[in-house]
Structure 1
Amino acid sequence: MSDIFEGIGTATEGGLLSRAIEPDSGAKPPHPHQPARCLNCDTPLTGAYCHACGQQGHVHRTIGAFMHDLLHGALHFEGKLWRTLPMLMFRPGTLTRRYIEGQRARFVSPMALFLFTVFLMFAIFQVLGFTAPTDLQGPAGSSGTVEELREEATSEIADLRRELEGEDLTDAERTELQAEIGVLETFLHENPESALSELTRGIRDGAAGPEAPAPDNEPADGIEAPPTVRADLSDLATADSGIAWFDKALNKWRDNPSLMIYKLQANAYKFSWLLIPISIPFVWLLFAWKRRFKAYDHAIFITYSLSFVTLLFITLSILGAIGVASWIPTSMALLIPPIHLYKQLRYTYDLSRFSAFWRLLVLSAFIWIVVGLFIQLLLVLGAF
């Protein structure tokens, strides 16, 4: 239940944030009960808004109006949204081009729509339970409880004893099995931590055997053999790179992976806007020789495209949660994005079918690079 309320709060936060950068447009008739002069600057009113300070002419003073404003501002229920969404879904290139060319009052701005959809997506994820796992453990708890380890050791001893009864074992193999059994029995009666370290050492030494034959390339008498270096995975797990900031981040991931994954998820929507500046240079490369298109055009294109993908993720998540056959969301996830991106490319930049198609292929490869860079940036941000 707490996830549901947290999700609603996240969606509301996104709506209010998008409202802050996307105010009402001026396409409203004057309210029949608004005063003749602006209540803020006393300028004569000629429409629904003051042309001097921008304040709305009619000011509400009832609790009902306050609740209406809350829902209107938080959830962005207004005419612009319902004009924008159908075009975003079915005519994305036309929407992008019309906004770039100056039709701003009719449509929700790409940044406001993007912020709202991102917050809404993570709110839906919280309601549906798609959150970061909280039961991951660091090295201290990765081996389970002592009782669980004792049960595993008892079972392992039984398996080793049955294996020891085999008649086709060599002396070295019998010695190895006996060493393992001895260390496991020590674990059951003594300090588990010291026994575990002894187990690793015993298995390694027992594998060589007391009378292990010398290797064929043993050096001749009088020639000193090169030193042997032993290393196992535990050594690698605790190794440091020597780079202070990198080791600090790595230690945080080792010590508390659940916290770090939670921070990664939280940063994913807080810094999702970074996808836009990261993507702009890659889209620019597709049109570097066309002076007609500027970085601003690419930014609008990217932002509307990301908004659509976010809405698609929301739809697929809901379909999966209500039990729709898995092939339906899978097919939608594979087919809809490239078709939508092709249509947006072609009509935003006025391209031929061939030009839009080859740019779609290149941009599809660029997308994976952008996602990789974004994830790496989140990992760095989560470590500090």
Structure 2
Amino acid sequence: MSGADTVTDAIVAGSGAGELEDAIRASKRTKRDRNSAFQSPTAEGLCSNCGTELSGPVCHSCGQTADSFHRPVWELLAEIFDGLFGFEGRMWRTIPPLLYRPGHITRQYLSGVRARYVMPFRLYLTASVLFFLVVFGATNIGAPDVPSPEEMAAAQEATAAELENARQQMEANGIDTSELDQALAAAEAGQDALTEVANDPVLQAAREESWKRNAIDGVRVVLVPELYPELVEEFEERSDGRVSDGVIELEEGFSVSLGEDVSDMPLEVRRFLANQAISVINDDGQMMQRELKTWIPRVMFVLVPVYGLLLAFMHFYKRGYFFYDHMVVSLHFHAFLYLFLLVTMVLSAIIGPGWGIVILLVWSNFYLYRIHRRVYDHGRFSSALRVITLNFAYTILLAIGTIVALFLAFLSG
């Protein structure tokens, strides 16, 4: 560098944040370039984009790589993936220290060491997309945690086995087993009935249809009772008049309460909510599940700058720290969370979910503690106190975000 043109020197130096790798790969492809009908509009040795004379593999004026794209299509596809995810270098220099050296990359990046690492926003997008692809592909969000008839039958079978074992012990000790025999017979009868239900699709369909009908009637009674006076009368008889308080009983032991203020809403709003709820019931929540897959990533994306605002609020008195710095911390921390959650899922499958959760909680909190120590230069006690405060605030934000995502998925569905 001559030092005479600071802007030019900065451009040439800054081109190393990706262009240098492109240029190296371009030089390796020189011998494989194909003859093409589309030739550069400039003479050889001049930049095809701006016409500046080239002094290296990267144009020092516009930053374009002196490369030809006349090569096999799979190489172009590989470059697309590399452009999105940085597979060929920077991603793999970023992920390991991001996971296992808390605050190191953030401190490096904010100090100006950037060319070797993936940009924070791209890193966050890659981690979040990968996480939600795995989670949404491996789980069925929105499915109710209700035991299936097969599970109920298995539980009944286990109960019968326990009763049989107890009967044998009582016989060995000379104790009358007549009452236990009756209980065992009832359990075996129940097992037969449950097995029949589990294997009879007609009975299953009838049971599901009955539950849906009761649920839909209950929604209508609570939200739009003036449109269904006969249903209101029926439910009041069945639930001891509690319909007027916004409480209905769909079936024995299962009630729904929406509060006394439901009737204060405009009829059109209540009608819309009722139609949405009925749609969710009719399709077994499948539409809402699909909408959740859309809204959860969006809500989590909104929480990233909110977390940055929390960090900024906690450090408003420290000079030299800007909102940009807090946003880099937030992006790196959320990218770490997504990637480490994937690691925890693998560990949970190997050592059990309990230990996986313990590892996640311990390492994520220690990670946040080290960020405050390394990036913000806080003391031990101050860092620990800030971790506790951030955990409390972020838990509330996650709860609010979850409710918002569920509500938006409900409205969209």
Does residue 1:370 correspond to 2:363, yes or no?
no
How many Å apart are 1:119 and its aligned residue? 0.5
Tell me what 1:73 maps to: 83
Whole-angstrom distance in 2 between the partners of 1:253 and 1:47: 62
Deviation string for 1:74-116 (max 9, x for gaps)? 4420321122112212323221122122222121111110011
Number of matched pairs: 291
Distance 1:127 1:354, change over 3 A: same
1:199 Cα offset (Å): 6.5
In the alignment, the residues of structure 1 paired with residue 309 and residue 268 of structure 2 have an alpha-carbon distance, to the nearest angstrom, of: 28
- Please give the residue correspondences for 1:215-234 in structure 2 after superposition, counting only pairs within 5 Å: 232-233=247-248
Once the two structures are superposed, residues 303-336 of structure 1 have per-residue CA deviations (whole angstroms, 9 ceiling, x without a partner) of 100000000111222344x454223312212211
Deviation digits for residues 249-283 of structure 1 (CA, Å, limit 9, x no counterpart): 74365223322343123211144321122212221
2:346 corresponds to 1:318: yes
Q: Offset at 1:27?
A: 3.4
Kindly indicate whether residue 57 of structure 2 is the aligned counterpart of residue 64 of structure 1. Answer: no
Which residue identity lines up with residue 103 of structure 2 in the other structure?
G
The answer for unaligned runs of 5 or more in structure 1 is 1-22, 137-143, 153-192, 208-228
Report the more deviating stretch, 40-49 or 303-312. Answer: 40-49
Q: Give the root-mean-square deviation of aligned CA atoms.
A: 3.8
Relative distance call for 1:149 and 1:88 in structure 2 (3 A) is: closer
Secondary structure of the 1:289 match is coil
Cα 1:308–1:370 shift into 2, 3 Å: same
Taking a change above 3 Å as real, the CA distance of residues 63 and 251 of structure 1, as seen in their structure-2 partners, is same
Alignment match of 1:103 (pick from 108, 113, 127): 113
- Following superposition, the deviation at residue 70 of structure 1 comes to 3.5
Runs of 4+ in 1 over 6 A off after TM superposition: 149-152, 193-199
Local SS of the residue matching 1:304: helix
Q: Which runs of 5+ in 2 are unaligned?
A: 1-15, 34-43, 146-202, 212-227, 250-255
Is structure 2 residue 130 aligned with structure 1 residue 120?
A: yes
Q: Describe the shift of the 1:333–1:91 C-alpha distance in structure 2 as closer, same or farther (beyond 3 A).
A: closer
Letter of the structure 2 residue corresponding to residue 353 of structure 1? R
Query: Comparing both structures, which one devotes a greater share of its residues to helix?
Result: 2
Alignment map for 1:225-304 (pairs within 5 Å): 232-233=247-248, 239-242=262-265, 247=270, 250-251=273-274, 253-257=276-280, 258=285, 259-304=287-332
Shift in Å at residue 363 of structure 1? 1.2
Q: Does 1:51 align with 2:51?
A: no
**TM-score, with normalisation over the residues of structure 1?**
0.64
- Secondary structure of the residue aligned to 1:42 is coil
Per the alignment, do residues 203 and 377 of structure 1 end up closer, same or farther by CA in structure 2, a change over 3 Å counting? closer
SS of corresponding position for 2:115: coil
Q: How many angstroms apart in 2 are the aligned matches of 1:26 and 1:267? A: 36
Name the CA distance, whole Å, in 2 between partners of 1:364 and 1:275. 14
Counterpart amino acid of residue 292 in structure 1: G
Match of 2:207 in 1: 148
In 2 relative to 1, CA 246–97 (structure 1 residues): closer, same or farther, beyond 3 Å? Answer: farther
Alignment-mate amino acid for residue 311 of structure 2: V
Seen in structure 2, the aligned counterparts of structure 1 residues 101 and 380 have a Cα distance that, compared at 3 Å, is: farther
Cα distance between partner residues in 2 of 1:376 and 1:201: 30
Matched, 1:354 2:364: no
Distance in 2 between residues matched to 1:112 and 1:204, nearest whole Å: 55
The answer on whether the counterparts of 2:94 and 2:117 sit within 8 Å (CA) in structure 1 is: yes
SS at match of 1:233: strand
Structure 1 CA distance, aligned partners of 2:271 and 2:230? 30
What displacement does 1:347 show? 0.3
Deviations 1:4-25 (A, max 9, x none): xxxxxxxxxxxxxxxxxxx961
Distance 2:83 2:76 in 1: 10
Distance 1:115 1:151, change over 3 A: closer
Aligned in 2, Cα 1:281/1:253: closer, same or farther, shift over 3 Å? farther
Contact preservation (8 Å) 1:26, 1:105: no
Identity %: 23
C-alpha distance in structure 2 between counterparts of 1:91 and 1:245, whole Å: 55
1:253 and 1:260 in contact (8 A); partners too: no
Q: Which moved more, 1:117-126 or 1:69-78?
A: 69-78
